[in-house]
Structure 1
Amino acid sequence: MKKITIAIDGHSSCGKSTMAKDLAREVGYVYVDTGAMYRSVTLYALRNGLFTDKGIDEEALREHIDRGDVNISFRFNAETGRPDTYLNGELVEHDIRTMEVSSRVSPIAALPFVRTAMVAQQQQMGKDKGVVMDGRDIGTVVFPDAELKIFVTASAEVRARRRYDELKGKGMEADYADILRNVEERDYIDSHREVSPLRQASDAILLDNSQMTIAEQKEWLMNQFRQALAKA
């Protein structure tokens, strides 16, 4: 049976990962959360004191990555039906979702040598197709020839509220104003970085899910998948 590559890009906290995970499970594809990869690098930098008063110690981080000290992998969780993120063999799915990581991930993701390393891993993961990958530059850089490209967005206020509800639902501390400010800052950094800036691919289908339910999004995405598969 033929398989395609599905690239889902868009702004932070707009539900890309939930959509991508659900679709991958429905159609039997491999799901890769590229945002989790950049979050894992950020967590590694935090744990190893690579953030200084002047910002990121880029030279030190590059050395760690070049030495192969930052190994990211995904393992399927039978209880949730979704993959969990591991950093150097340690389960970090919870740790990488904190506000501390969220507030620092965009500068890390903007570093050219970090993106080069992560994109190479992502392309290797998806070389056999049958993959659903979400992030910021999947349809423009990682898989420019993907058969189905979706660009997801929603208002900053809606995304901040969703992120707030998600954190509170996990029993984590959250402040709506701080989250909204973080969402807006990440939008700016992601859209203005020199390497692989966030932008909609010319052949991507735009989805503004500000007023959509999860069920409506799933139905919409499944229809797009069927159409793309039929054309492949």
Structure 2
Amino acid sequence: MTSIPVLTIDGPGGAGKGTISSLIAERLGWHLLDSGALYRLTAQAAVKHGVALDDEAALERLACTLDVAFPVEAGLPRTLLEGEDVTGAIRTEQAGERASRVASLPAVRQGLLQRQRDFCQAPGLVADGRDMGTVVFPDAPVKVFLTASAEERARRRFQQLQDAGVDASLSSLLKEIQARDARDTQRSVAPLKPADDAITLDTTRLSIPEVVDRLIRLLAQKGLASAH
């Protein structure tokens, strides 16, 4: 599909994909695709415009015409939807649950497919999502599937919320993660699973720097990046 190097990082929510993808992209000077943000933004636009989350045709129209921007200000990425800053709004548990529902609809996924592929630009791309290696960039030279136990992923999310001063229930978070995993793995279109040629990495007992270093070394072994 492209001669531009692409690293796909797929996996369930809470496995560390977003943080790790951002760090690798920053370290290599590559572009970053947070595909989950596009689904979250589609769901956010649906709520904003009063579109039901099961109205597949209307959601597809929204997906194809999303007015979004990802400016970086003072080193911090922001997310704009129709000119409105929704950086925080699309990162709530409720927004994640809505995004998972929207992402299960074939027409929405098709509507966002080319938009995601357009992120592939020189010098390289780190693509973070659920089906980056299986559907969006099937020819990517390096594909990784990050995972961790549901309990560990719930603990990480709980800690994030605690650090942000947000009250949360660990048991409720665990149930939400398990429900989202079931929905993502059992959907009829692009179910969450490792690509046949993906390397699976369990991050349950690994730190973020350890995972980043491993993946940078993996890219270096393929001749796609420097290990330093």
The reply on whether 1:78 has 2:74 as its aligned counterpart is yes
Show CA shifts across 1:156-197 (max 9, x none): 000011111112222233221221111111111111111111
Residue number in structure 2 paired with 1:181: 175
Secondary structure of 1:32's counterpart equals strand
Q: Report the CA distance between 1:90 and its aligned residue.
A: 2.0
The reply on whether 1:201 has 2:195 as its aligned counterpart is yes
Share of identical aligned residues, percent?
Answer: 38
Q: Against the structure 1 CA distance between its residues 135 and 230, is the aligned structure 2 distance closer, same or farther, given a 3 Å change threshold?
A: closer
Unmatched runs of 5 consecutive residues or more in structure 2: none
The reply on whether 1:20 has 2:16 as its aligned counterpart is no
The residue correspondences of 1:37-186 to structure 2 (distance < 5 A) are 37-51=38-52, 56-65=54-63, 68=65, 70-80=66-76, 83-126=77-120, 128=122, 130-186=124-180
Greater than 6 Å deviation, 4+ residue runs: none
Larger deviation: 17-26 or 119-128?
119-128
Q: Report the CA distance between 1:96 and its aligned residue.
A: 0.4
Secondary structure of 1:104's counterpart equals helix
Secondary structure of 2:87's counterpart equals coil
Superposition TM-score, scaled by structure 2 size: 0.90
Q: Against the structure 1 CA distance between its residues 9 and 174, is the aligned structure 2 distance closer, same or farther, given a 3 Å change threshold?
A: same
Q: Determine if contact 1:8/1:134 at 8 Å carries over to the other structure.
A: yes
Q: Against the structure 1 CA distance between its residues 114 and 207, is the aligned structure 2 distance closer, same or farther, given a 3 Å change threshold?
A: same
**Paired residue type of 1:134:** D
**Paired residue type of 2:75:** E
- For 2:169 and 2:44, the matched residues in 1 are separated by 21
Q: Against the structure 1 CA distance between its residues 49 and 217, is the aligned structure 2 distance closer, same or farther, given a 3 Å change threshold?
A: same
- For 2:123 and 2:111, the matched residues in 1 are separated by 20
Q: Determine if contact 1:33/1:135 at 8 Å carries over to the other structure.
A: yes
Secondary structure of 1:21's counterpart equals helix
Larger deviation: 89-98 or 141-150?
89-98
Superposition TM-score, scaled by structure 1 size: 0.89
Q: Determine if contact 2:4/2:120 at 8 Å carries over to the other structure.
A: no
Number of residue-to-residue matches in the alignment? 223
Q: Report the CA distance between 1:230 and its aligned residue.
A: 5.1
Q: Against the structure 1 CA distance between its residues 168 and 129, is the aligned structure 2 distance closer, same or farther, given a 3 Å change threshold?
A: same
Q: Determine if contact 1:3/1:229 at 8 Å carries over to the other structure.
A: no
Q: Determine if contact 1:19/1:217 at 8 Å carries over to the other structure.
A: yes
- For 2:165 and 2:102, the matched residues in 1 are separated by 27
Tell me the C-alpha RMSD between the 2 structures. Answer: 1.9
Unmatched runs of 5 consecutive residues or more in structure 1: none
